[in-house]
Structure 1
Amino acid sequence: MSINIMILIIAAVFIGALMRTMFGFGEAIVSMPLLALLPISLNTSVSLIGLAGLTVAALTVASGWRHIERPVLIRLAITTVIGIPIGLLMLRFTPANVITTGLGVFLIAYGCYSILKKKLLKGLDRPLLNAGGWVLPFGFASGALGSAYNFNGVPVVIYGTLRRWNPERFRGTLQAHFLISGVLVVSGHALGGLWTKDLLTLYAFSIPAILLAIIIGKYFNKKIPAAKFENSLFIIIVALGILLLFPHGRY
């Protein structure tokens, strides 16, 4: 692997970690499409972002523990475990171009949902999905999407939005879920034989970039209103999703 490619890979990890620290989520959604455009195997990309996400979660979760909705977190963890093997099967037996196309469609759908969610939920004065059982399919989806695409946070973001969590509960529960599901997903990757020497080398070189992203992200998180930049982030997500639908955007 050339130095230039390695620098681009580390840059993709840095950008994802920066988005995650600033907005509380978005690391895999940004980094995975960027890595998919580089000459790096899908298995390596998935495993690298899984390790990077776990690192960010471990370093940022402590401050939000008191705001966690613990009963929901427990149900999420249980159903995430059930969903992980499904995602691993998808990753191992589904052709890479099919997964990449699916990733592109998913990014477009999620980006459009995120842009429109304020309008969709405008006037809603009570939370949806009050029944405890609703958390189960979101947890299952988190496990499946997490092990296949590292999108373990997306179902929880949607669930928290529909439940109308306040910002503290949203961020605290989400970060705790990232930590728990991250451990499970990374363990699944290791046990599934996805770890290689190249992966561990890339991760080792990415650690300084991850630490730098956390420092910069926390600074901007305090100085700049995140809501002002959310729409821009989601527009970029949609654009990356569209790019992945074209042959020249696939590896």
Structure 2
Amino acid sequence: MSMSLIMLAVAAVFVGALMRSIFGFGEAIVSMPLLTLLPIPLQTSVSLIGLAGLTVAILTVVSGWRHIERPVLLRLAISTVIGIPVGLYVLNSIPSYIITSGLGIFLVGYGMYCLLKKRLSKAMEQPRLNSRGWVWPFGFASGVLGSAYNINGVPVMIYGTLRRWSPERLRGTLQAHFLISGVLVVIGHALGGLWTADAFILYAYSLPVILLATGLGVLLNKRIPAKKFERILFIIIIALGILLLLPRG
């Protein structure tokens, strides 16, 4: 790998880690599309973001620990374990262009959902997912998407929104889930043969900027209006999804 390619990959990791530390989620759904635009194998990108995501989770989980929804977290962890092998199978058996196209469609849909969810939530005076059983399919989806795309937090974010959790509860549960599922996903990547020398090289170069992004994100989270930045983030996610759907030469 050339140094310019390494620096571009590190920049993609930095942007994702910064989004994660500011909003509590969004690392992989920002970094993964950027990495797919570089001449880096998809498996290397997936394992890199898995390692980076676990690092960010370790650094951020302490601050939100008291707000964790512990019974839900246990069921999420169990169902995530079930979904991880399915995601690894998808990653290893389906051509990468299908995966990136699927990721693009998912990002557009998710970004549109996030932009519209406040309007939708105004019409909901009660949680839409009253049954505790709903946590199982969302946890399973988290395992599949986590091991295949490293976007294990998105299903939990959607579940928490539909349960109308408070921001503190949502953020705290997300960080704890990222830590648990991050360990499981990284182990799955290792057992699935996704770890490469290039992934560890990129991770070593990325580690300082991950630490920088985490500290900077904490400061920005306190000083910058989160609502305005959330809207910008979701617009960027939609734009990246559209970019992944464009034909390439």
Displacement of 1:125 in angstroms is 1.7
Displacement of 1:247 in angstroms is 2.2
Is 1:184 equivalent to 2:176 in the alignment?
A: no
Structure 2: how far apart are the matches of 1:140 and 1:134?
A: 10
Is 1:200 equivalent to 2:200 in the alignment?
A: yes
Structure 1: how far apart are the matches of 2:227 and 2:75?
A: 29
Q: Secondary structure at the match of 2:122?
A: coil
Q: Give the structure 2 partner of residue 50 of structure 1.
A: 50
Q: Give the structure 2 partner of residue 123 of structure 1.
A: 123
Is 1:223 equivalent to 2:223 in the alignment?
A: yes
Q: Give the structure 1 partner of residue 234 of structure 2.
A: 234
Q: Give the structure 2 partner of residue 34 of structure 1.
A: 34
TM-score (norm: length of structure 1) = 0.98
Amino acid at match of 1:75: R
1:166-218 C-alpha deviation (Å, 9 max, x unpaired): 01111100100000000000100011111011111110110001000011110
Q: Quote the RMSD (CA, aligned, Å).
A: 0.8
Q: Secondary structure at the match of 1:207?
A: helix
Structure 2: how far apart are the matches of 1:124 and 1:247?
A: 39
Structure 1: how far apart are the matches of 2:59 and 2:235?
A: 28
1:217-250 C-alpha deviation (Å, 9 max, x unpaired): 10000111211111111011001100101122x8
Structure 1: how far apart are the matches of 2:225 and 2:119?
A: 20
Is 1:69 equivalent to 2:105 in the alignment?
A: no
Structure 1: how far apart are the matches of 2:78 and 2:123?
A: 33
How many residues in Structure 1 have an aligned counterpart in Structure 2?
249
Q: Give the structure 2 partner of residue 101 of structure 1.
A: 101
Seq. identity, %: 72
**Structure 2: any 5+ residue segments left out of the alignment?**
none
Q: Give the structure 1 partner of residue 173 of structure 2.
A: 173
Q: Secondary structure at the match of 1:91?
A: helix
**Structure 1: any 5+ residue segments left out of the alignment?**
none
Q: Give the structure 1 partner of residue 211 of structure 2.
A: 211
1:65-87 C-alpha deviation (Å, 9 max, x unpaired): 11111000000000000000000
Structure 1: how far apart are the matches of 2:182 and 2:225?
A: 27
The runs of at least 4 aligned residues of structure 1 exceeding 4 Å deviation read none
1:103-147 C-alpha deviation (Å, 9 max, x unpaired): 100000000000000111113222121211010000000000000
Amino acid at match of 2:241: G
Structure 1: how far apart are the matches of 2:205 and 2:106?
A: 29
Q: Give the structure 1 partner of residue 142 of structure 2.
A: 142
